[in-house]
Structure 1
């Protein structure tokens, strides 16, 4: 497999920490597929993943409730697909993941072929404890993470935390 891209200190000054407990989760792919993708990725893309609805908003409007329930159904379906071992993923699972990823900024500059390849190998991970360091400045990784639900922040050398949404 390939090596992860190098992260300059300007982009990742110190550490990347999860800010929420239990809800922070990510989908990431293995290194073999990523080798062909790294050069086309822009480092500012790993954060804006607002494609998931976090809770149902109380509403008297039946349409709003239906739309919210549909969003929960989609989120559950996506999670179910991601929790499967990639070798057990069906074509339908990959289609569900393709539909989901097309709305995420991290995937906007990728071709359908690349997105399909990523959807075939993505795995689901949960960071359960808020404040967990998930990446240190200068580390090289052979995978690529996408935040599905939760929040991360960059802790700068001066101790200031920059929250990424």
Structure 2
């Protein structure tokens, strides 16, 4: 399976491709590196994301999982950048319980691209199993908030653009 690694502010990550779609994003540096057109596109989009220039990814994703987990991951992809939803919100959208949503998040094979970091507990930030855990989750949420604020500052006033 072709994979390509890159350095990011949350550590090294490796993106994997299979049959023309991204199937995994893992923390750490992959042993084998392949610069396929899709993996190069993924690397460019991830670099732009970490530079605060891109908030939504345009990549074909094919996460392996049960039908329920795929429903949860689809719901995660509908959370706008810079916003959060609770585990209960996602459970109401995808079915199941807040706990089962947490389990699906923990099994998300393509974190960041499938934004499980945007799901929080009703009583606080909740958990995160990627990178360094909660510091990584906080970093990703803050990154998106800063990028949105920067865009808002650059936006022309109504009638000026």
TM-score (structure 2 length as normaliser): 0.28
**Structure holding more strand per residue:** 1
The structure showing larger relative contact order (alpha-carbon pairs under 8 Å, at least 6 residues apart) is 1
Higher helix share: 2
